[in-house]
Structure 1
Amino acid sequence: MKPALAEPVATLPRGEGLAYEPKFDGHRILLFTIDGSAVLQARSGRIVTAAFPDLAEAALALPDGTVVDGEVVVWTGGRIDFAAVQRRAAATPARAGLLARRMPASYAAFDLLWERGEDLRPAPYERRRQRLTALLEPLGPPLQPVPMTTDPELAATWFETLVEAGIEGLVVKHLARPYRPGARDWRKLRHTDVHDAVVTGFTGPPARPAALVLVLPDDDTPVVSSPLPPALRSHAGRLLAGRTAENPRGAPRTATAIGIGEVPYRAVEPGLLAEVERGTTRHAVVTVHRLRDDLINQV
């Protein structure tokens, strides 16, 4: 199932019939309950149930035929830790249980698409929100609805104060609109378009990579950065030395490069973050500002 999407905006939308939610930076996950089992689907369509056994177990408390849209996050020291949730998402089945105990995940739910076999996507957001809170509030963590308000002044306060907890902005929705998979009906307002991203690979020669392959917050699909400047290429080569990972299936890995399409790349082991800037257009170029060697091996 395709999730609904959001279009970036530069100022806080105001007007009648709007709802505001904090924007969490984690992994977008659709959670399904089917015949007594839970299935977790990433935004790309990849099934990631095995990577989050703690959430899959918690989801069994939901009735069959339920689909929830939300964000998987990991909290560290009272702040959202994107590097930690990426490590959880990339875990092998053999390590997933250990990481779940060390870095338990939370599911920040923001929409209810199906409940007990009833398709709620045509219903207005206001009704879906009421059903979501009624469903999840009796359960409590790790499944919980995100906060929501219709007061733009309170939303503005959230925007200014929640950044310390790793909340990067707001998502704005119309109370009367349905859930439209794949459509950009929502709006998102960010503090900045500079983020930490996980380096998962590179293109070009290992000693001087031409570009980095990155996983950005809120999306598990690897993307290729814009070309690295010469000094950063040399630095990346030194930091990535010895980190190349083999593909167990033998087939080359590919990632999306804006303006080019799918390109092959060499994968690397987790352990390096990059500070990146992504444009605010739908197909935005990702520019690497620096490599977070101060945080190396913490992913």
Structure 2
Amino acid sequence: MDWPVSVALAQAVPTLPVGPGLHYEPKMDGHRLVMWRTTETVRLQTRSGREVSAAWMDLAIAGMPLPPGTILDGEGIVYRSGRIDFGAAQSRANSSPARARLLAEEHPAHYAVFDILSHPEHGDIRGWSYVRRRAALEDLLAGAGIGPPIQAVPTTADSSLARVWYEVLQHQGVEGLVVKADSSVYRGGSRQWRKVRHSETVDAAVVGYTGPAARPRHLAVRLPDGRTALSQTVPGVLAAQVAPHLVAAERTRRARTDSGEAYLQVEVDVLVEVLAGTTRHAVVTVTRVR
């Protein structure tokens, strides 16, 4: 398997899907990470394919007992005051190596694993069914003596239990549920999973911006229905998170949203959450960068 690997994605749905052959997992509010156990070390990859091992060095060290040839998919999370704190995970992800070490001392990271892409004995197993991959994941973690801070997320085929999780785990920082079919293979780049979240937000792809790339004023986003719209003024912390991707973009060209506003169009692999209630209008509100 070549670095970086394309990760499977989830499509937001308004209600919890139910039916035979479905499995439910808590959706941790963190930073998507793929953990590669190579022959010599552990590397960590973001959803977009960037290497971020230095920012999550405590997790890289924790992954060393994994057998070489293992590739896991999961969420890097950070706890504060007994609950998962998305802001803390974002701070870690955007820190320099030196700053990340200081943050790790104060708030160590955890790795919530929900899939396995490569097995040390079987190689690439993305073509296996979800239930078969899940069994392989649990067996591998147990056989290697892996425990916290690396741990598999819970899973259940009981929709009633899943509803309980949805209701009672919110105060712990769990943002919802991910639903997977038991026969599904792992398809990178495909929104084959479903997710139900407490927050009324939808995912939107960043397709451009206004203002300087190093400090964008507004983001142009493609909404789930295909429309392109400008966001409201982007807060400084969100602008700082998106800016490196905009600056690194090789080509820009002038374009207009569906309602006629001008912006600079770029090709970047950045997803943001926007308030669902604002997507009916020409201007949307970005709540955070995924």
TM-score band by shorter chain is: 0.7 to 0.9
Question: In the alignment, which of 75, 90, 103 is matched to residue 86 of structure 1?
Answer: 90
Spell out, residue by residue over 1:185-216, the C-alpha distance to the aligned partner (whole angstroms, 9 max, x if none).
Answer: 11111122349xxxxxx8438xx9742699xx
Letter in 1 for 2:80: T
CA deviation after TM superposition for structure 1 residue 280, in Å: 11
Q: Which ranges of structure 2 fall in alignment gaps of 5 or more residues? A: 203-208, 222-227, 258-263
Q: Which residue of 1 aligns with 2:60?
A: 56
Q: Does 1:35 align with 2:35?
A: no
The range that moved more, 186-195 or 106-115, is 186-195
Taking a change above 3 Å as real, the CA distance of residues 101 and 13 of structure 1, as seen in their structure-2 partners, is same
Question: In the alignment, which of 103, 114, 127 is matched to residue 132 of structure 2?
Answer: 127
Taking a change above 3 Å as real, the CA distance of residues 32 and 275 of structure 1, as seen in their structure-2 partners, is closer
CA deviation after TM superposition for structure 1 residue 279, in Å: 7.8
Q: Which residue of 2 aligns with 1:199?
A: none
Taking a change above 3 Å as real, the CA distance of residues 279 and 121 of structure 1, as seen in their structure-2 partners, is farther
Q: Is the 8 A contact 1:8 1:280 kept in 2?
A: no
Question: In the alignment, which of 181, 184, 195 is matched to residue 177 of structure 1?
Answer: 184
Q: Which residue of 2 aligns with 1:277?
A: 275
Letter in 2 for 1:126: V
Q: Does 1:141 align with 2:148?
A: yes
Identity %: 46
Equivalences for residues 89-128 of structure 1 within 5 A: 89-116=93-120, 118-128=123-133
CA deviation after TM superposition for structure 1 residue 262, in Å: 1.6
Q: Which residue of 1 aligns with 2:17?
A: 13
Spell out, residue by residue over 1:43-68, the C-alpha distance to the aligned partner (whole angstroms, 9 max, x if none).
Answer: 00000011111000011010000000
Q: Which residue of 1 aligns with 2:196?
A: 189
Taking a change above 3 Å as real, the CA distance of residues 244 and 71 of structure 1, as seen in their structure-2 partners, is closer
Equivalences for residues 145-294 of structure 1 within 5 A: 145-194=152-201, 203-204=210-211, 210-211=217-218, 226-228=230-232, 252-253=247-248, 261-262=265-266, 276-277=274-275, 287-288=284-285
Distance 2:86 2:50 in 1: 19
Distance 1:17 1:244 in 2: 42
2:77 partner SS = strand
1:51 partner SS = coil
Q: Is the 8 A contact 1:277 1:286 kept in 2?
A: no
Distance 1:126 1:153 in 2: 19
Q: TM-score normalised to the size of structure 2? A: 0.74
Q: TM-score normalised to the size of structure 1? A: 0.72
* CA RMSD, Structure 1 to Structure 2 (Å): 3.8
Q: Which residue of 2 aligns with 1:271?
A: none
Letter in 2 for 1:287: V
1:184 partner SS = coil
Q: Is the 8 A contact 2:200 2:277 kept in 1?
A: yes
* Pairs aligned (count): 251
Distance 1:132 1:85 in 2: 24
Q: Which residue of 2 aligns with 1:68?
A: 72
Q: Which ranges of structure 1 fall in alignment gaps of 5 or more residues? A: 196-201, 215-223, 265-273, 292-299
Distance 2:35 2:277 in 1: 29
CA deviation after TM superposition for structure 1 residue 90, in Å: 1.1
Distance 1:188 1:39 in 2: 27
Distance 1:26 1:35 in 2: 27
